[in-house]
Structure 1
């Protein structure tokens, strides 16, 4: 990292305590928390954004209950706007969006962060309601909570002119919402299945019922969303899956058939990985990276830039990942193993009753969405902080933790975990990790660069 850091008091213990109290379901996040102080406002509003998008709609503190890949796209919008708001005040880096009006030097960064985040989320939630993906009553509850949090942030802001900061945040949010209007979110695209060996079928089916619609469509429209930084949806498209008649396919098939079946025996470490890396990767990595940013002492401008780098990378990686799923539309292990005697490979043994340890999601195999998510965030973090040895802790919502010496080491574990869960062949996991790495490098080199 090239910026000068302002050291802030560590609060890893406090964040770890919060993690222990949070719900551990996929797609969930901790309840909203009041803003801590102007020193951590960008971290706090990232947490509020994750909760607003990820919390269950019926939770005591309601959220939109978006799938992780939908959360990732929308967080890129929020964090891009927050970054532009802060950067327009402090300067030093290229804006994400050009053309924002210059901000007064004395504007409150806290007010700018809170307003940019609140207004961008409000626009995103309005679109979700208009598209039929969210009930207006849920939207209203979330917006009311965001307003309460916004009021609290402004009341505690002591870092400049609040009214000027609000105006800066409003401008950044309006620019982001205008930029992303008509970008393909909630579009009509659906994955296509087929009846030939190797072709994807919806969960639990061995015949094609195209097009899958409604809650089982896996938000296929993510594949066709306009990217944030990369040049196109297919710039970093994954490689084709291994041909069914190859030894590589047979080897990967046997690995997941043996290790990933419901009820199959795993070692203690394998079982630990399989149960740990099931939590929402946007929430889990987000909380872990916020804790690390606190440990590193990032000031508000650095928090905003770091979180924007991660979010823009994650958003574009999800888009690329879903485009890869649309391009290859190949079957997942559960379908493949149930139809293993029909794939033309004499080295694969079919099992009509085979079921994955973790329920198989409703979209094609290549590339692994979970590894796209984790790899993008870990590689973005490593590019920001540097590749030297670091103490990094992944914090599960239920309070469990796993410690690593390098950000990239997390990806090795998530590749294996998705095999132990029976959700992917190894090549799909590796391809997802590769997409995340390549997109992270591109975003690092092409977005939010120093000026002068």
Structure 2
């Protein structure tokens, strides 16, 4: 199979893959976000989980379609090499369109309009039709991937309390189906699970407890204005500026961009679910609960503050490990392999939690991970040990992705003059 892929890559060089706009993948990934947002159910409607992976499937479909034409990487879904003269733009657009239409038929008009805009811009009818056929085949494979594990029980979350004692009744953000997805990269959700959080009678617990009690408090006297800003800025990061900058770099092929978006989404999904599974496994208390009830932790080095509040709102799920930390670390591992530890132009991240804010530039990927982790402690929602555990989980996901999927294929050397 590998030999065949190498030969296919050689054919693509010999005949010349049909050119495509380097932006076609970015444009359809942006559009996928818009369509997903427009298709959100009302607040009182239960989520089904069927569409949670639509954007990832669209990214994988585009990668498979483009990689079939310009063979540069191992196929993730086992897609055969296609005609190297097919239109890459038509293939990518068709792949994304078919996936999104399958998930969001209620957005058919918007999808068809955008698809037609893309296809009308391709003047070579024969190349366009070949690309369309490849895109349709890729979409079919992608839609059959990443679903739920058959017959796996969907276990609802049960709030834990003593008989007769009240506890909060709002259920966490995790749904019964959340952990029945097939991983994209991992063998199972336990493969990267960290060990337990520190014991409550340990020195580490007391140290990190005191740190977040001081710097993460709503009325903190030790947190700087800059740290307060970062706690809010990084609640909902937006990586589009970095991805766009990389995608537009000179010398990149459109298949490189498709792989980047596919890997980005796949590691994000796997890190997120693996972290959520670990959170429910350990069910560790949040700082607002721990600090208000410190007399119950059995550690003489901690003291309670019954009125303590965090700077930002506490997420509605268990604390350990940190999900922001695992997600950013997984992405950072993949992106370091893509563009280096310190990419030209820096790591550029915007914020959805502070609308209309300027893009922040961080010098390198590891620095970005550390700053995201610190922001969760500044906000009063994560202990430092949880940040570290989340980072390690995410790094493992990213490293395993690079080892296991969409690996670069050896390319034929150019003949000397």
Same fold (TM over 0.5): yes
TM-score by length of structure 1 reads: 0.76
Q: Is the 8 Å Cα contact of residues 75 and 315 (structure 1) preserved in structure 2? A: no
Aligned ranges for residues 157-236 of structure 1 at < 5 Å?
A: 157-158=122-123, 161-183=127-149, 188-195=154-161, 207-208=166-167, 213=171, 216-219=172-175, 221-236=177-192
Aligned ranges for residues 256-271 of structure 1 at < 5 Å?
A: 256-265=212-221, 266-271=223-228
CA distance in 1, matches of 2:389, 2:351: 24
Q: CA deviation at 1:312?
A: 1.6
Deviation sequence 1:336-370 (CA, Å, 0-9, x none): 22222212112222223322221112111112111
Q: Is the 8 Å Cα contact of residues 268 and 327 (structure 2) preserved in structure 1? A: yes
Q: Is the 8 Å Cα contact of residues 107 and 165 (structure 1) preserved in structure 2? A: yes
**What's the counterpart of residue 449 of structure 1?**
407
**What's the counterpart of residue 66 of structure 2?**
86
Aligned in 2, Cα 1:359/1:192: closer, same or farther, shift over 3 Å? same
Higher mean displacement: 82-91 or 425-434: 425-434
Q: CA deviation at 1:444?
A: 0.8
Higher mean displacement: 143-152 or 286-295: 286-295
Q: CA deviation at 1:146?
A: 2.3
Aligned in 2, Cα 1:38/1:119: closer, same or farther, shift over 3 Å? same
Aligned in 2, Cα 1:186/1:408: closer, same or farther, shift over 3 Å? farther
**What's the counterpart of residue 44 of structure 1?**
27
Deviation sequence 1:216-254 (CA, Å, 0-9, x none): 443363333211012221111122111111111111111
Q: Is the 8 Å Cα contact of residues 285 and 394 (structure 1) preserved in structure 2? A: yes
**What's the counterpart of residue 129 of structure 1?**
none
- Structure 2 unaligned regions, length at least 5: 1-8, 10-19, 411-417
CA distance in 2, matches of 1:399, 1:261: 24
Q: Is the 8 Å Cα contact of residues 23 and 247 (structure 2) preserved in structure 1? A: no
User: Residue 333 in 1 paired to residue 316 in 2?
Assistant: no
User: Residue 399 in 1 paired to residue 357 in 2?
Assistant: yes
Q: CA deviation at 1:70?
A: 10
CA distance in 2, matches of 1:156, 1:187: 47
**What's the counterpart of residue 243 of structure 2?**
289
Name the SS for the 1:179 alignment partner: coil
**Number of equivalenced pairs:** 382
CA distance in 1, matches of 2:166, 2:194: 26
**What's the counterpart of residue 15 of structure 1?**
none
Match of 2:367 among 409, 431, 435: 409
Higher mean displacement: 360-369 or 410-419: 360-369
Deviation sequence 1:243-287 (CA, Å, 0-9, x none): 1111111111111111222233421321221121012x3xx0244
User: Residue 249 in 1 paired to residue 205 in 2?
Assistant: yes
RMSD between aligned residues: 3.1
Q: Is the 8 Å Cα contact of residues 174 and 276 (structure 2) preserved in structure 1? A: no
Match of 2:340 among 379, 386, 396: 386
Aligned in 2, Cα 1:220/1:331: closer, same or farther, shift over 3 Å? farther
TM-score by length of structure 2 reads: 0.82
Q: CA deviation at 1:195?
A: 3.9
User: Residue 440 in 1 paired to residue 398 in 2?
Assistant: yes
CA distance in 1, matches of 2:357, 2:52: 23
Aligned ranges for residues 25-174 of structure 1 at < 5 Å?
A: 38-54=21-37, 57=40, 73-98=53-78, 100-125=79-104, 140=106, 142-158=107-123, 161-174=127-140
Aligned in 2, Cα 1:374/1:118: closer, same or farther, shift over 3 Å? same
Q: Is the 8 Å Cα contact of residues 288 and 310 (structure 2) preserved in structure 1? A: yes
CA distance in 2, matches of 1:72, 1:443: 20
CA distance in 2, matches of 1:301, 1:146: 22
- Structure 1 unaligned regions, length at least 5: 4-36, 126-138, 197-205
CA distance in 1, matches of 2:118, 2:217: 48
Q: Which has the higher contact order (CA 8 A, sep 6+)?
A: 1
Name the SS for the 1:394 alignment partner: strand
Q: CA deviation at 1:95?
A: 0.5
**What's the counterpart of residue 19 of structure 1?**
none
Q: Is the 8 Å Cα contact of residues 57 and 65 (structure 1) preserved in structure 2? A: no
Q: CA deviation at 1:71?
A: 8.7
